[in-house]
Structure 1
Amino acid sequence: MEKIILDALMMEEAEATHKYLKEMLKLPECYGFNLDALYDCLTDECSATLTIRNSEEAGAYFTRVLDVMLDAQEENEELHVELE
């Protein structure tokens, strides 16, 4: 299982967040750059541990992204999300 370290401070604006996640998570070319598409990718294709740094300092959009990641973790036993 791959371990991916993500910086929550890179996930404060929607557009920048999805570009960052597409690169870091190696999401498919057809990725839709929204939270629904993120959930779909995390539940369908992801087998990784996502370690998130700086979560206490991140803004409101990161909170929404984290909620999606945690929901996806419940559906995908190959996905693990941890906060550092």
Structure 2
Amino acid sequence: MKEIVIDCGPIQNKKTMHKCLAERLNAPDYYGNNFDALSDVLSDIGGSERVMIVFKNMSDFLNDNKKLCAKLIRVLAEAEEENEYLSVWFDVK
């Protein structure tokens, strides 16, 4: 299983969130920096190899960006449900 760690510590807003996600998920250059683009990337991730995306240091990001985090979690949950090779874990310490 491949593990991709997303450190939410430096994420401050939607722009920095998408920048971080695009980098860590190796999104294509045409990644649109929006939730539809993220959904597309997540639907293709894995292929025949299981992938675990681990979100660490999420507390401050969650507290400061509740609506943004709620949308992110919805997109991740939908992608995890649709892609059998994808698992997502949140470390909210």
| TM-score bin, normalised by smaller chain | 0.7 to 0.9
Question: For residues 17-63 of structure 1, what are the alpha-carbon distances to aligned partners after superposition, in whole Å with 9 as ceiling and x for unaligned?
Answer: 111111111011111110011011101x2122001112333222123
Distance 2:56 2:70 in 1: 13
Match of 2:57 in 1: 54
In structure 1, stretches of 5+ residues that fail to align are: none
Q: Which runs of 5+ in 2 are unaligned?
A: none
Q: Secondary structure at the match of 2:31?
A: coil
Residue 71 of structure 1 deviates from its aligned partner by 0.9
RMSD across aligned C-alpha pairs, in angstroms?
1.5
Greater C-alpha Rg = 2
Q: Displacement of 1:11 after TM fit?
A: 4.1
* Matching residue of 2:83: 76
Alignment of 1:29-44 (within 5 A): 29-43=29-43
Are the equivalent residues in 1 in contact too, given 2:5–2:55 (CA < 8 A)? yes
**% same residue:** 31
TM-score (structure 1 length as normaliser)? 0.84
Matched, 1:64 2:71: yes
Aligned length: 83
The amino acid of 1:17's aligned partner reads: M
Runs of 4+ more than 4 Å apart: none
Q: Distance in 2 between matches of 1:64 and 1:16?
A: 15
Greater Cα shift, 53-62 or 15-24? 53-62
The residue number in structure 1 matching 2:28 is: 28
Where 1:51 maps in the other structure, the secondary structure is strand
